[in-house]
Amino acid sequence: MDPLYYGDYLHLDKLLDAQHLESEKRNRAAHDEMVFIITHQTYELWFKQIVFELESIIKIFDDPRVQETKMATVLHRLNRVKTIQWVLIQQIDVIKTITPMDFLEFRDLLVPASGFQSIQFKQIEIMLGIKRKFRIAADQEFFCTRLTKTDKAELDKLEEKPSILELTDDWLRKMPFLEFDDFNFWQAYEAAVEKMLASDEKIIKENVTLTDREKQFQLNDLTATRTRFQSVFDESKFNELRKQGDFRLSHQAFLSALFVHLYRDEPMIYTPFRYLSLLLDIDELFTNWRQKHAVMVQRMLGTKIGTGGSSGHDYLDATTKQNRVFTDLYNLSTFLIPREDLPELPSELRRALGYFFSGQKK
């Protein structure tokens, strides 16, 4: 076998010959178009790596019984995605070295191409769980009007496959521990919550520093908190709110996720907690990337229409708010209670959640 050469291994002949300036083709070369192309090509390379990682994670979770021994691999690859996201966010600073006046030298040559047409980024969104029904109206319309038939067909096919959100829901629903022998965690948890809320009500009513109006305001807020907790305890209310879009996880999956956050200190629970935390981190970093991208676009274009026909900054700002996947995990904090108020787990359950080793010395 011939010795491998660096440039051949990386196919640098193709990679470094993939920057063709539209402005040069029209004999009006714009110097800053080169950094614009290279930055976006780099984005696509990182998107390819993220797709590669997410595909492997979906393969692990798309199993009737997710193997615990593979969870370390899942955490490692999610952390890699998270690290790549920091690079994506920082790359926006490279694009910002193009001034608005310099961008105008080649911007019109890009029409109707648009970042919306990044199929790989759409793949990432769909694989995470942002399917068509969760998108804003303009986003849904662009799938039909701004993509080629081939790309649209590819994304439609991907929409039919389970996403990480859906697979995580299935995984959480199968989690044990919520009922253990005669112990029903949710009955104990509901009693602990009521005790906490009753204590809060007493504190408000006996607080002599508050006016009657201030007391009533806080009591009304406490009533709203009770209602939110009740939506978790009552499955029918939860499912009704889920139909309205207030929840995306199933009732059982949401309860399991809450249990994980409440008892994350237990050894057997910490890995699920890290998994859910990484999903939140990734969701948050993509939100940060969209926000920074939207601000950059406003700085570059002001209120101009985007090259793909969108409303530019306003469109990007709207997708920043809408295109979040794991909203239920963000909202779990609403239902957390102090450690000292948590129901005491039965000794056998605590033993099942811990690491215990036994043996005899020879």
| Domain-embedded: residue 351 | no
Task: Please say whether the beta carbons of 69 and 10 come within 8 A.
Answer: no
CA angle 271, 273, 279 (to 5 degrees): 105
Spatial distance between the Cα atoms of 81 and 196, rounded to a whole number of angstroms: 39
**Residue 187 resides in a domain:** no
Query: Looking at residue 75, what is its pLDDT?
Result: 98
Q: In this predicted structure, what is the pLDDT of residue 68?
A: 87
Domain that holds residue 131: 7-177+235-327
The answer to the question of residue 142 being in a domain is: yes
CATH of the domain at 86: 1.20.58.480
Position 176 scores a pLDDT of 74
| Per-residue confidence (pLDDT) for residue 164, from 0 to 100 | 97
Question: How confident is the model at residue 305, as a pLDDT?
Answer: 54
User: For the chain, how many residues are written?
Assistant: 362
Q: Does residue 209 fall inside a structural domain?
A: no
Give me the pLDDT at residue 178, please: 66
Q: How far is the C-alpha of 267 from the C-alpha of 274, rounded, in Å?
A: 11
Domains held by the chain: number: 1
Q: Per residue of the chain (362 residues), what is the pLDDT tens digit?
A: 889 999 999 999 999 999 999 999 999 899 999 999 999 999 999 999 999 999 999 999 998 888 889 999 999 999 999 999 999 999 999 999 999 999 999 988 888 777 778 899 999 999 999 988 888 777 777 777 778 899 999 999 999 999 999 999 999 998 876 666 777 888 888 999 998 899 999 999 999 899 999 999 999 999 998 998 998 889 999 999 999 989 999 999 999 999 999 999 988 899 999 999 999 999 999 999 988 888 888 888 776 554 444 445 666 666 667 778 999 999 999 899 888 888 888 888 888 788 765 444 44
What integer pLDDT is reported at residue 318 of this predicted model?
65
- CA separation (Å) from 191 to 136, 232, 234, 345? 40, 13, 14, 14
Please write the tens of the pLDDT for every residue from 170-201: 999 988 766 667 778 888 889 999 988 999 99
Residues 6+ apart with CB under 8 A from 284: none
For residue 362, the model assigns a pLDDT of: 45
Within a domain: 230: no
Residue 216 lies in a domain: no
pLDDT at 310: 46
Residue 204 domain-assigned?
no
